[in-house]
Structures are given as structure tokens and as C-alpha cells.
Amino acid sequence: MATILLIEDDQRIAELIRRSLEEQLFTVTVAFDGIMGKKLATQNRYDLIITDIILPQLNGLELCKQIRSINPDIPIIMLTALGTTDDKVEGFDAGADDYLVKPFDLRELQVRIRALLKRNDNKTHIQGFVLKYADLEYNLHTRIVKRNNREIALTPKELKLLEYMMQNPERVLSRTEIAEKVWETTFDTGTNFIDVYINYLRKKIDKDFETKLIHTKSGMGFIFKQ
């Protein structure tokens, strides 16, 4: 299961959170001040970090910024008694992905954690020259596409379309945006060439696989997601 770093100076609250998360089979490490939290975050690998804002030695906002400079992708949830809109904006500006105001329901925290972990799992990860999403891989250097380790032959334009969709997962892409970004042209509403290429790509990427990745949003465009 996922590993979580919890940074909370109130030992009673920290123990309640730790116990509730371990009951859900998460592995939890606890730090009681910002300096120790930063040390653990930079020396170990965690799937998610939960931090209070008001912490001894190093406050949660500065801590979040420093962690973000080292690990830009790790999900971070802020827990705090500071609940104004300005406080939340400041937390998000520091790099937090989510924000819970004390007191909160531990079940809500669990839901937020699972949502962030799922979102992080579904991101397109770039490793060297390789784009990865779910079981689909696209090597930008060799121009080889594989799904579930099965190689898929694509035309140059299909490759360019796939690359753009993989770089923008879980976001609705309009036909106009695809025309401008992939074809570098203005979309003519009297033509359906975008739909034609989407269908070409869908037949090669999705047809022989149970989980479909390319979806149509009626009247809006297309979305690349599980």
C-alpha cells in the first residue's frame, strides 16, 4: 500500500490520523516539526505527504515550497486551523494539492488521499524519452508505441496526435485545439478530419484492449483517460 509522511506537531492529532490511516493499510511515518519533516521527505520516498501549516522550526508553507523544489510531483495535503479563502490560496500557491480545515472527518481525509493517489497514478509519466500512461508507452526517440508490451504501428500524424493526447491526459481537448496544436492549422468546422484521425488512432490503440483510453465528449471534443 501507499507510504505517507505525516507532519503534525500535535501528538494527539498525529496519533489519531496515523491510526486511522494504518487501519486502511497505509504505511505512515510521523514527524513533529518542519525540519524533521523536510529531512524525512528529502531522504526517503513517499507516495503522499500530509502537513500542518503551523509547525515548530519550519512552517508548513515554507516546508511545502522546499519539498516542491526537490520533488515537484508528490501529492501534498495541508491540514490547518486556518480556513479563510486567503489562507487556502496561500496554501495552494505554496504547492499544496489539497487543503483540509481542522476539525475534519478522518473519512474525508481518506477520500482525499485516495483521490490524489489515483490522480498521481494516472498521470502521464515522462521517463527519459518515454511517455507512459496506464499500460501504454510511447518512446519519443525510437518512435515506438507499445501497449501491454505489444508494439503498435502508427503513421507520423497518428504519432503526433497520440503524443499530444498523452501529454494532456484527463483533459477535454476540443477539435480546434487539436487542429492548432497537432496540425498547426485553423479548424474548419465543415470538415471532419480530426474525427477521422481520432478513429484511426482509436482502432489501433483501443480496439484490441478491454480498457479504452480515447473517449468522445459529445459537443466538446475528446479526452484521453482510463
Q: What is the residue-averaged pLDDT of the chain?
A: 87
- Between CA 67 and CA 70, with CA 69 as vertex, the angle to 5 degrees is 65
Nearest to 121 by CA among 159, 75, 158: 75
For 125-224, CATH number?
A: 1.10.10.10
**Residue 183: pLDDT above 80?**
no
**Residue 60 · residue 18 · CB < 8 Å:** no
User: 56: phi > 0 → left, psi -120 to 50 → alpha, else beta; which?
Assistant: beta
Task: Scan for cell 489501433, then name that residue.
Answer: 204
- Predicted confidence (pLDDT) per residue in 45-67, tens digit: 899 999 999 899 999 899 998 98
Instruction: Give the integer Cα–Cα distance in Å for 112 and 17.
Output: 13
3 state DSSP class of 105: coil
**Residue 6: pLDDT above 60?**
yes
Average pLDDT over residues 169-187: 83
- Predicted confidence (pLDDT) per residue in 190-220, tens digit: 568 788 889 999 999 999 999 999 999 988 9
Average pLDDT over residues 72-97: 80
**Residue 121: pLDDT above 70?**
no
**CATH 1.10.10.10 domain position(s) in the chain:** 125-224
What was the pLDDT predicted at 120? Answer: 67
Instruction: Give the integer Cα–Cα distance in Å for 17 and 165.
Output: 38
Assign 184 a pLDDT band (cuts: 50, 70, 90): low
**φ/ψ (deg, to 5) at 175:** -60, -35
Nearest to 61 by CA among 86, 44, 40: 86
The structure's pTM equals 0.56
Give the homologous superfamily in CATH for domain 3-122.
Response regulator (3.40.50.2300)
Instruction: Give the integer Cα–Cα distance in Å for 16 and 14.
Output: 6
**Residue 18: pLDDT above 70?**
yes
**Residue 4: pLDDT above 90?**
yes
**Residue 100: pLDDT above 90?**
no
**CATH 3.40.50.2300 domain position(s) in the chain:** 3-122
Q: Regarding beta strands 125-127 and 98-101, do their DSSP bridges make them parallel or antiparallel, or are they unpaired?
A: unpaired
